[in-house]
Amino acid sequence: KPRYLNYLFFHFYTKIKIEVVIDDKLLKKVIDTIQKTANTGKIGDGKIFVSNIEEAIRIRTGEKGNNAI
């Protein structure tokens, strides 16, 4: 809901956070896809952060690395 504070108008937008773990080979394609589909040209379109995952382990099976993704 809009709120007023000392005659300034603020509008709070709902935000979501999406985390994706992918193989390095897919990085460029995933970034391009997110940029194309999330871009509205308005404030709040979001940000993309890229970081390294040292290890992935599937708890149920014990699979590691890309097999766990």
Residue range 13-42, pLDDT digits in tens: 778 899 999 989 999 999 999 999 999 998
Query: What's the whole-number average pLDDT of the chain?
Result: 87
Give the model's pLDDT for residue 44: 84
pLDDT at 12: 73
| Band (9; pLDDT cuts 50, 70, 90) | low
Listed residue (40, 43, 41, 39) closest to 10, CA to CA: 43
